[in-house]
Structure 1
Amino acid sequence: AATDVAKRLDDQKSCALTAIDIFTPSSEILRCKLKDYCERLILKDPISHARKIEELLWRRGFYDAVAAAKKLRRGGNWDEAEKALLSTHIQVGVGFYHHLILRLQQECGLDLNSIVDFAFPEPAAAKGKLGSTEVQQSALKIIHRSLVCLGDLARYKLDVDPSWDPMIATRYYKMAISVDPTIGMPHNQLGTLAAHKNHGIDAVYHYLRCILCSEPFEGTDGNLKRVISTNFYAGRDKAPLQRCAARLFGLLHKWDNEASSIDKINEDCE
């Protein structure tokens, strides 16, 4: 049923001519059905098919609508109707993922205190097989992914409303890191969020952290190289901090370049 609904949503998206067409009543009903089906499947068996269902939920339920609306908006700017519809869509997503995380906490008896700042202070007793260690570990992976989705939704809100606080997205990504620091994806997203700040230093830090994780995000290496190349040159007309950042990025570039000798890198570091 979930895949059938997802296909119908995909078909409707293909027929959309404006951003407003993405959020028709029939599309909203289908998205509600998809969320309901996916939530039930995840809670029924958090181990076997959760990753596939979770990806379907995020893509068809939330991400595709945002991406299609951005592509179809007129003149690259949002009008008031489009902003209202997209903001509502994002808020629905935030509410859903908060609900899913809390439901998983209660059903699986997870202690998320000091990890997720909106979690129940004390977990309920796990229900039947949902209390097994294997199920709890799978549930934590779903919670980790849900926190990344929440961070992404908060980041999309910045596109609709530039006055929106970017720290909200940062908060969700950092909670995801607390749930599982071995997965690099949240650091990649933090790097994307910080791309135009502090002369690229913060972005480079998070991209490097992502690459060094046991499960790095595959697109991070390209993101890192783009930030370094963007901030690589800084002439005498630039601020001292910007020149310092450019020098650091130059060293990173040489370190990544197989043609650069260690002696030359050491000489530049002195």
Structure 2
Amino acid sequence: MVIPQSQATSNESRLELDKNKKNYINALTLSKRLSDRYSGHQALKNIFHPETCRLRDKFKQMCETLLFDDSIDYGLKIIDLLWRKAAYEPIQIFKRYRQDYDESTIVDVQISYRMHLLSVFGFYSNLLIKFVSMIKPYRNMSHFFDFIQLFNENKCIAAVNITTTKVDNLIESLLKLLHKCLVCLGDISRYLSEYDGCIQTAEKYYTMAVLLDPEIGL
């Protein structure tokens, strides 16, 4: 029996939606597990515990999959949660509790904290590059992201045959995701400036975010 092409495409789309929904639910479950690790008086010790780092990495990978597989729907739903659980909350826990510890006993945590900042910066830089590659078939951003040296046809993610309406939705979603990445990179750069004294990097990303979408701002 030959299955009509339209039916086969419909089945593939349904399977893709089911997969994205499952990944989204799994990501929410992981975020709750991270919340448990972040709570209580042992929060500062827990945030950089190997098991917590493993959960956080798994959560980031799952969110990244959603961001690229379904940028329009689940990607936009997960982007703020990704920032909170993978980056912001560990930073705030460190800042809240570090004053309760003697400097001589918190050296290892200080090192882990800086490694966390650098890791998050690298993660969002990678997201930024990939989102730029995704949007390029529909809108060339090389004039805006001129510091990203990946603007050639080999590095560009291929465009797919989708409706004009969906293209418009995809572009809108990708611009929002790009804006979020720029703000996150600005925030991380600001936290890093406490150590390297270079606030200009944060200012650069914040300025780019405003220029990309003045209506959203920061």
Q: 1:47 to 1:86 in 2, by over 3 A?
A: same
Q: How many residues align?
A: 183
> 2:107 aligned with 1:80, yes or no?
yes
How far apart are the structure 2 equivalents of 1:87 and 1:62?
12
In the TM superposition, what are the counterparts of 1:137-152 in structure 2 within 5 Å?
Answer: 137-152=172-187
Aligned with 1:106 (options 133, 155, 158): 133
How far apart are the structure 1 equivalents of 2:116 and 2:161?
34
Corresponding residue for 1:134? Answer: 169
- Larger relative contact order (Cα-Cα within 8 Å, sequence gap ≥ 6): 2
Runs of 4+ in 1 over 6 A off after TM superposition: none
Corresponding residue for 1:261? Answer: none
> 2:200 aligned with 1:175, yes or no?
no
SS in 2 for 1:181: coil
SS in 1 for 2:142: coil
Deviation at 1:26, TM superposition (A): 0.6
How far apart are the structure 2 equivalents of 1:179 and 1:76?
42
Q: Which amino acid aligns with 2:177?
A: I
Deviation at 1:103, TM superposition (A): 1.2
Aligned with 1:93 (options 120, 134, 158): 120
Deviation at 1:44, TM superposition (A): 1.3
How far apart are the structure 1 equivalents of 2:181 and 2:192?
17
Q: Which amino acid aligns with 1:126?
A: A
How far apart are the structure 1 equivalents of 2:188 and 2:206?
11
CA RMSD in angstroms comes to 2.2
CA displacement, residues 222-254 of structure 1 (integer Å, 9 cap, x when unaligned): xxxxxxxxxxxxxxxxxxxxxxxxxxxxxxxxx
Deviation at 1:125, TM superposition (A): 5.2
SS in 2 for 1:127: coil
State whether residues 20 and 85 of structure 1, in contact with CA within 8 Å, keep that contact through their aligned partners in structure 2. no
Deviation at 1:84, TM superposition (A): 1.0
Q: 1:77 to 1:104 in 2, by over 3 A?
A: farther
How far apart are the structure 1 equivalents of 2:43 and 2:91?
12
CA displacement, residues 70-117 of structure 1 (integer Å, 9 cap, x when unaligned): 111134886432221111111111111111111122233252223224
Structure number with larger C-alpha Rg: 1
State whether residues 101 and 143 of structure 1, in contact with CA within 8 Å, keep that contact through their aligned partners in structure 2. yes
Percentage of matched positions with identical amino acids: 31
Deviation at 1:51, TM superposition (A): 2.5
Q: 1:165 to 1:142 in 2, by over 3 A?
A: same
SS in 2 for 1:132: helix
State whether residues 108 and 139 of structure 1, in contact with CA within 8 Å, keep that contact through their aligned partners in structure 2. yes
Give the TM-score normalised by the residue count of structure 1.
0.62
How far apart are the structure 1 equivalents of 2:168 and 2:79?
20
Q: Which runs of 5+ in 1 are unaligned?
A: 186-270
Corresponding residue for 2:7? Answer: none
In the TM superposition, what are the counterparts of 1:1-270 in structure 2 within 5 Å?
Answer: 1-15=26-40, 17=42, 19-75=44-100, 79-109=106-136, 110-119=139-148, 120-122=150-152, 124=156, 126-128=158-160, 132-159=167-194, 161=195, 163-185=196-218
How far apart are the structure 2 equivalents of 1:76 and 1:175?
38
CA displacement, residues 159-218 of structure 1 (integer Å, 9 cap, x when unaligned): 4x1x42000100111111221122221xxxxxxxxxxxxxxxxxxxxxxxxxxxxxxxxx
How far apart are the structure 2 equivalents of 1:111 and 1:126?
13
